[in-house]
Structure 1
Amino acid sequence: MRIRPIAAATVVAAALLAAGPAWAQAIHPCAGDAVEHARKLLAFHFDDDTPDMTVDDAVKPVGTVKALRGEGRFDVLEVWGFIYKAEYRMHFLYAQIPGDCVLMGQEILEASDPY
């Protein structure tokens, strides 16, 4: 039996849609490294022995950004940290080098309304 090209494409598209959310939530190879750096970044900005300091283990890939030089791109991983009632969003930029976690940049922003 021969499958028509349109029917085969429909089956493939349905399979990709079904696997889409699971594939999108795939764990980035540098997720553990990002959580470790998040703890260090919070400790750097605040007192290292703050008892209420926690870091969420959930790491969310939020896209890529272009490197400042060359044609490369960096993966951006988002990690949330908490100190008492304050929340901090941290982004970690990793070079897209297979098999290596090369941290190229980081940022931390407090999630609050100062106004």
Structure 2
Amino acid sequence: MKKFLLYFFLFALCTACAKKNKSPLVGKWKLTHTLIDIGNGKATFEKANQNKVIEFFADGTLKSNVSYCPMDKDVSVGTSGTYNMDQTTLVIPCASTASKINFELKDVTLIIDYPTQCMEPCKEKYAKVE
């Protein structure tokens, strides 16, 4: 009986101390600022007044309350997709092809970069809300 309790205690101790790797992206993020350059290279981030939220899950999936597909007529329709922390990309399935969007994490800010959807630089900053 003592051996059983000892093994149980050691097992419980090892599993309790196991490090759980959770992506820093997991949770809800709300749009705070947008940057759209008109071609002169002088664009700066401006405060956003949209209710745009994107949520990341531990299984590598995401969902949003708006569409990230460049040709969607109704952007208020939500979207879902996947993310890859190693490649720092979001992949959103769109009507004709998947939209690949770059992102970066700077401290507690998520910056999404739309390289193929804008002719000039356009980015969005998000703050974590959950």
TM range (shorter): 0.3 to 0.5
Q: Which has the higher contact order (CA 8 A, sep 6+)?
A: 2
Q: Which structure dedicates a bigger proportion of its chain to helix?
A: 1
TM-score, scaled to structure 2: 0.37
TM-score, scaled to structure 1: 0.40
